[in-house]
Amino acid sequence: AGVYTVTLSVSDVEGLTDTDTVTITVEADDSPSFIETYGLVIGIVAAIVVAAAVAMMLMKRKGGKGASSNEGVEGIDSGEPGPPAN
C-alpha cells in the first residue's frame, strides 16, 4: 500500500522532449485470504482423510479380520488351528 509517482520522459533525435507524470495509489486489501477463510476446514478434512487412509491400510494388512489368533475368541478350542497367516 502507498502512493507512487511515475515519471516518463522521452526525446527524439531532433531534440524534442515530452514528460508525463502519473500518480498511482495502491490500497491495502483488508479482506481475508482463502487460507485465512477456509484453512481450518481444509486442515480438518485433511486430517480425516489421512486417518481414514491409515485405518484402511491397517485393516488391509490384517486382512479385514478382527481377531488374529484363537486367543480370547469365545467358543474356539485352543487346540484348533488359528486363521491362516497373511
DSSP states of 28-70: ---SPPHHHHHHHHHHHHHHHHHHHHHHHHHHHHHTT-S-SSS
pTM greater than the 0.85 cutoff: no
User: What is the mean pLDDT for each group of 10 consecutive residues in the chain (86 residues)?
Assistant: 95 95 93 91 97 92 60 60 68
Query: In this predicted structure, what is the pLDDT of residue 68?
Result: 54
